[in-house]
Chains A and B, each alone.
Chain A
Amino acid sequence: MNRLPRTLLGLFLPLALIAVFAALLLYSLSRLAEIEQDMRIKATQNMLWTMYQAHSSALQLENVLLKADSGAVSPAEIERRYNVLLSRIALLNEGPQRRQVEALGYSDELDRLTTAARSVAPMVKDPTRANIQEIRDALHPFNPVLGRAGNAAMISEWNQLGSRLDTHRQKLWQIIWLLFGLMAAGAVLSAYLIFTLRQSRHRTSLLRRERRFSELLVASSGDGVLAADADGRCTVWNDAMHALFDVSPNQARGASLEDISGFFATERVREGLQRALAGDPFDLPFLPFFRSGEELPHYVDLRLFPLRDRDQTIGIIGLVRDVTDKHAAQEAIARHNERLEELIADRTRELNEALQQQRSAADLYRNFAAMVSHEFRTPLAIIDSALQRLVRRADRVSSLEITERATKARDAIRRLTSLVATTLDTARLDAGQVEVTCERCDIADLAATICDRQREASPGCRIHLETTGPAPAQFDPTHAEHVLSNLISNAVKYAPEGSPISVRVTLESDLVTCSVRNETAKPLTDDDRAKLFDRYYRGSNAMGLPGTGIGLYMARALARMQNGDIELSVQEHEGKVEFRFLLPRIGAGPATPSLYAAPVHIRRDLPVP
């Protein structure tokens, strides 16, 4: 509120004072010029002298005429004096002098004198005694008239002089007062100047103090502070910058920033400097910065601000903060996060696996339940019906029929027992209670034994055994027998009535293979092939045939426990299915322990259960 009037006063007061000063000075000068003009004295104003000369010339002529009486004067002298008098009269009659005479009130007298003077001209030419007397008579009034006129001229001139002096004095007094006015205006102006000078000094000292304070701030700031002009030359470089860049303020000031450190020549910093010089503040976070002699980089935040003067950018101010610790902390957090993510991924995978296992287990029990409900119910129904028949016909039943019914019931019971045994076997297998004791045996002998037994059990079947002599291998005879029995009984079960079943023992470089092949009426589907070895899985061709879905699962598990395996090979075009029981061979080639190190299913790249 108060600032604007004060500024206007500060502007207009000196201007008004200067105007007053100039006006007073001009007026004084004009007054002085008037006096100067008035000081020129004109000769016409010297009437006293003119009157005196006229009077004197008249007296001299009279004097000459007096002497002429005694004949001591030449006529030429008389004429000369007469001419002088005439000249004086003529002068008085000339314009300026004539006006003065009129002003004095002597014009009539002058006219009379002129007439008188001119009238005696003929007498002057002929200066006889009588003529001289006449001339003297004519000159008689000249003396008193010119004397009085001289007095009047003197009084008039002195009056004029006095009045002129009065005027001059008056004007001089005016000038003196004007000079006082000038002095006063000058004094006010000087006072104002002194006042503004003191204010200016006060402001200067304030500014200086503020500058010292800001210099102190810059110097004591923990952050690096720098400033540069529009050409990129450093103007401010504080102690923190010294510590950071190892360049002292004295070295830095005046030098180009790019010369001070390569840091300022990097592409991002250079772009930032250009942007700031164009007028936009610019932040550059986490700039790597290599100090001389150090291998690991420091990290700094560089903030650039344009330095403005009115509308122009005259330089930049830069704040540099060492954020190496912060950067390290952020990296640590990032690493930690990464590890956490890995951990979460692992846990998720484990959980997924657990869930999968859970689902498989659920499937397992569902399949088990289905199998039990079906496979256990059938023999029970057979037993029940046999017994019902015997009960109904108790009075007329023959011993033959009893035997037949009892045999059916026993078969069903055996199947049930077998089912229970198989289920218990699986449970033992799951519980890890199945023990494997491998020893050197001949698989060909074992195959022959099982084939014979199968022929006895199923008299209608055609089993052909092919062997190429002894086939020694390392296995557990009990388990191997279980496996082979399973494969051969399966073949008998699924082969069409009367079709041949081939059992062949072959020796390969490091394996002994016992393959069981049978023909099939219903070919295996892709789904069957994928799941055939799963527990409780029954193939699409098993419809209507008794079975638990455990046999192949169990057979493969036992084979693998002896470092062997079971493969399925489908000869689709021939309508044949072949299962191969693989066992590690002994006595063929270099018998190396490593042969047994890796199980067959791994060496043959078979699916892991």
Chain B
Amino acid sequence: MPSAGASLAAPTGTVILEVEGNIANGNGGTGIARFDEAMLAALPSHRLETSTVVTDGTQVFEGFLMRDLLALLGARGSMVAATALNDYSVEIPVSDFSRYDVIVAITRNGKRLEKSGKGPLWIVYPRDDHEELQDIRYDYRWVWQLYRLDIK
């Protein structure tokens, strides 16, 4: 885990995720961090198996923990605004990420999420592990086609 204050390496491939706002470590000017596929793949991988409200049966997701990403960036804030390709935007309390193992999924059932589906990234809650997460007020936080995070 890079220590706070250390600058993040610059992306070399296509940028998949942009993070803006109150972060300590960036790589694209003040308060901006950009990630390519390789950089995201380098984050500690986390596997999560859960059902979702928009699919049948349980799905196996793999990606990184949201709190790992925020820690990597030295993020300080209480809310994270997640924005999807269709401009859908939702504000999520940072406390969700410490309380639950919320991941940013890169693959579903071993296959890379596609931009024409739920890709490039999908915020996934461990819905089956916690009953309180089986609620529409958490369901709307499952942002797919995620490409941008604002730390507030």
Contact = CB atoms under 8 A, between A and B. Distances in A.
Contact of B53 (A42, A56, A57): A42
A57 B134 contact: no
Given A41-B136, A57-B86, A87 B53 contact: no
B86 A97 contact: no
B145 A43 contact: no
Contacts of A42: 53, 136
A95 B58 CA distance: 12
A80 B116 CA distance: 9
B85 A80 contact: yes
Contacts of B140: 43
Interface in B39-71: 53-57
B53 A86 contact: no
Contacts of B115: 80, 83, 87
A397 to B, nearest CB: 185
Interface in B84-139: 85-86, 88, 115-118, 134-136, 139
Interface in A75-122: 80, 82-84, 86-88, 90-91, 94-97
A120 to B, nearest CB: 12
B144 interface: yes
A96 B134 contact: no
Specify the main secondary structure of chain B where it touches its partner: loop
A96 B117 contact: no
Contacts of A80: 85, 115
Contacts of B139: 43
Contact of A87 (B118, B135, B136): B118
B130 to A, nearest CB: 15
Contact of B145 (A46, A56, A84): A84
A53 B86 contact: yes
Secondary structure of the A side of the interface?
A: helix
A418 interface: no
Nearest to B54: A94
Contacts of B88: 53
A95 B55 contact: yes
B140 to A, nearest CB: 8
B54 A43 contact: yes
Contact of B54 (A41, A56, A86, A91): A91
Interface in A58-86: 60, 80, 82-84, 86
B145 A83 contact: yes
Contacts of A56: 86
B117 A86 contact: yes
A134 B56 CA distance: 35
A40 interface: yes
B116 A87 contact: yes
Nearest to A44: B53
Given A53-B86, A83-B85, A83-B145, A90 B116 contact: yes
A43 B55 contact: no
Interface residues of B, number: 19
A87 B117 contact: yes
A86 B135 CA distance: 27
A464 B52 CA distance: 178
A42 B135 CA distance: 8
B116 A96 contact: no
A42 B117 CA distance: 21
Interface string A131-153: 00000000000000000000000
Which among A46, A60, A83 has the highest number of chain B CB atoms within 10 Å? A83
Given A57-B86, A95-B55, A96-B54, A40 B116 contact: no
Given A84-B145, A87-B117, A96 B86 contact: no
B93 to A, nearest CB: 20
Given A53-B86, A87-B144, A44 B54 contact: yes
A44 B144 CA distance: 16
Nearest to B120: A83
Contacts of A95: 55-57
A44 B57 CA distance: 14
B145 A96 contact: no
B136 to A, nearest CB: 5
A90 B116 CA distance: 8
Contacts of A60: 86
A88 B57 CA distance: 20
A363 B145 CA distance: 167
Nearest to B118: A87
Contacts of B86: 53, 56-57, 60, 84, 87-88
A87 B145 contact: yes
A157 B136 CA distance: 16
A82 B116 CA distance: 8
Interface in A223-269: none
Interface string A25-57: 000000000000000111110100000010011
A490 B135 CA distance: 165
A220 to B, nearest CB: 78
Interface in A355-403: none
A41 B144 CA distance: 20
B116 A43 contact: no
Contacts of A43: 53-54, 136, 139-140
A84 B136 contact: no
Nearest to B147: A80
Contacts of B136: 41-43, 46
Nearest to A41: B136
Interface string B72-92: 000000000000011010000
A96 B56 contact: yes
Contacts of A40: 134-135
Contacts of B145: 83-84, 87
11 contacts: A40-B135, A42-B53, A53-B88, A80-B85, A84-B86, A87-B118, A90-B116, A94-B55, A94-B56, A95-B57, A96-B55
Interface of B: 53-57, 85-86, 88, 115-118, 134-136, 139-140, 144-145
The 6 closest A-B pairs by CB, nearest first: A95-B56, A86-B116, A43-B53, A83-B115, A84-B86, A43-B139
